[in-house]
Amino acid sequence: MTRLMRLVDPSAESGERDLRFRACYEADYRALRRYIARLSGHPEEADDLTQEAFVRLWQRLRQEDVADLRPFLYRIATNLVINRHRGRVRAGAVETAASEHVIRMRPSPGDLEADLARRQLVRQTLARLPEPMRQCVLLHHAGLSAREISAVVGVSPAYVSTLVMRGHQRFRRERSKVEHGQ
């Protein structure tokens, strides 16, 4: 049992808050972890940051009611990634570009080298997208609606749709540039 799920005591009478939290955890854990890994560029830290996001959500729920958990959770996760990055910069521990793209992979059938190259290409291309376009594209691929993304990013839902559409277009152009070494 994870540290997070120990916070919710199954022997205690479960209230609506506990049920909402459990449902959010079960529905969003994997997608949130992928979002954090992509946003941070450090897949090896995604588990820790994902757990921390859920712990903070649970702590907030104990203090006050949160109407829409999913966008609130993604806002927490985004802030954690930003804070982690700021901490690295302040500490002077910014890693080299090559070490940022190290991926810990489980052996699997197929061409691991091609998969690694594809992942690096996606990371490098995503890094070329400006904020909040990059964040909107990542949240869209994590399965959030335009309304949910707007709550996370702080822009209107209509603008989110525009950013996602333009983000996909720009991603294709930037990917081509990265592939050709530009």
Of the candidates 95, 126, 146, which is a domain's last residue? Answer: 95
Q: Are residues 19 and 87 in the same domain?
A: yes
Question: What total number of domains does the chain contain?
Answer: 2
Domain for residue 105, yes or no?
no
Show pLDDT as tens, one digit a residue, over the chain (182 residues).
455 554 555 444 348 888 999 999 999 999 999 999 988 888 889 999 999 999 999 999 988 888 899 999 999 999 998 888 777 665 553 343 334 444 444 445 455 677 777 888 888 899 999 989 999 999 998 889 999 999 999 999 999 999 999 999 999 999 999 888 88
- Which amino acid, one-letter code, is at 59? Q
Global pTM?
0.64
pLDDT in the model for residue 99? 42
Domain for residue 77, yes or no?
yes
CB distance 70 to 148 below 8 Å:
yes
Q: Are residues 89 and 147 in the same domain?
A: no
Q: Are residues 81 and 117 in the same domain?
A: no
What interhelical angle do 133-141 and 112-127 show, nearest 10?
Answer: 140
Q: What is the DSSP string of 66-123?
A: -S-HHHHHHHHHHHHHHHHHHHHHHHT-PPPHHHHT-------SS-HHHHHHHHHHHH
CB distance 145 to 166 below 8 Å:
no
Closest residue by Cα to residue 144 from 38, 36, 66, 32? 32
CATH of the domain at 128: 1.10.10
Domain for residue 101, yes or no?
no
CATH of the domain at 58: 1.10.1740
Domain for residue 67, yes or no?
yes
Domain housing 91 = 14-95
Q: Are residues 85 and 120 in the same domain?
A: no
